[in-house]
Amino acid sequence: MAVLTYLEAIRLAMLEEMERDERVFVIGEDVGAYGGAFRVTAGFLERFGEKRVIDTPISETAIVGAAIGASLMGMRPIAEMQFIDFISCAFDMIVNYAAKARYRWGAGVPIVIRGPAGGGVHGGPFHSQNPEAYFMNVPGLKIVAPGTPADAKGLMTAAIRDPDPVIYLEHKFLYRRLKAEVPEGDFVVPIGKARVARAGQDVSIITYAAMVQVALEAAEGAARDGVDVEVVDLRTVLPLDEEAILSSAAKTGKVIVLHEPTLTGGPGGEIAALVAERAFEHLDAPVMRVAPPDTPVPYSPPLEETFLPDAEKLGRAIRAMVHY
């Protein structure tokens, strides 16, 4: 085991896969000479050369389009969005080309589209978004969102090796704030498999990415009041681990879905529907969602703190569930 930050774990997985497989390369804005906006690819250019670490113009459409073309020629591109917010510029390429190629003519598009997502760093409405809900309605895509350094490494390795397109969401708040043990060597976390981050009997919290830390903090607070909270870390947003979600719902009978995308149309609605359809007989209360309000992410630090879910807000939801 090595103790690494979340950012270092992502970096290590990319380095190891580039060493292992010469087909893997990195493409994006400032990934080479500058080493990436958050320094995830620092030193890659010197190590692998300009044919495998490719700086591009400021065009997400071109970055993803080039990655798709290279993947169809047998390569394994890792396409960086400097901030994940700008993935919207490449929406057509991702949705209508990458995601549909296997369905239309049997061609896999093994690309990873990665970039920093999420709030908590006062980045404002154009540098703090969580775009996963936009893509959950697109068959052919996979979406992963690790919440720990170990999962950051294991899911990146899995994403690079996957035969189809994977959107890999890196929560920028966790980059240098979260440090933990990470397995060394060949380590893969399967896409589509959740984990129980904290076992409990009274209330289930279904969450992922940075909200895992919020859920664990709230669970510790609830434990002091005698409430045993289970925290399920989805790790993968698409496809959802339905078995893990339903198993936890059946175990506790009370489910809270916690996520950072805004409430309406967010992943919580899909998870709540799944629980309502397939675990209704086990429920002792309606499924509750804890998520930001339907506004852009505020730039003002006090407003952003009001906007984002935290342990206090989640604690109130836990108490409401217990007393339902």
Domain 2-182 identical in fold to domain 195-322: yes
- Strand pairing class (179-182; 142-144): unpaired
Q: What is residue 82's predicted lDDT score, i.e. its pLDDT?
A: 97
33 is written with which tokens?
């000479």
Residues 311, 35: Cα–Cα separation, whole Å: 35
pLDDT of residue 184: 92
Cα radius of gyration (the chain): 19
What pLDDT is attached to residue 224?
Answer: 96
Report how far residue 31's alpha carbon sits from residue 287's, in angstroms, rounded to the nearest whole number: 42
Choose the catalytic residue: 122, 127, 259, 323: 127
Contact 62, 96 (CB under 8 A): no
Asked if 173 and 213 touch (Cβ cutoff 8 Å), the reply is no
Helix H segments across the chain?
6-20, 44-48, 60-72, 91-93, 101-105, 132-135, 149-161, 211-224, 242-252, 267-278, 301-307, 311-322
Alpha carbon distance 266, 316 (integer Å): 21
Q: Which residues of the chain have pLDDT under 50?
A: none
Instruction: Give the CATH architecture of domain 195-322.
Output: 3-Layer(aba) Sandwich (3.40)
The pLDDT of residue 71 is: 98
Which residues, 6+ apart, have CB-to-CB distance to 222 below 8 Å?
203, 228, 229, 315, 318, 319
At a CB cut-off of 8 Å and minimum separation 6, what does 89 contact? 59, 60, 61
In order of 132, 284, 313, the CA distances from 144 in angstroms are 9, 30, 25
- Cα 272 to Cα 5, 242, 278: the distances in Å are 32, 11, 10
Cα separation, 257 vs 269, in Å, equals 9
> How far lies 98's CA from each of 228, 239, 277, 318, in Å?
43, 17, 31, 40
Is residue 171 annotated as a catalytic residue, yes or no? Answer: no
Residues contacting residue 121 through CB under 8 Å, at least 6 positions apart: 128, 172, 173
Domain ranges of the chain: 2-182, 195-322
The DSSP letter of residue 94 is I
Q: What is the pLDDT of residue 181?
A: 97
Task: Report whether CATH 3.40.50.970 matches the domain 2-182.
Answer: yes
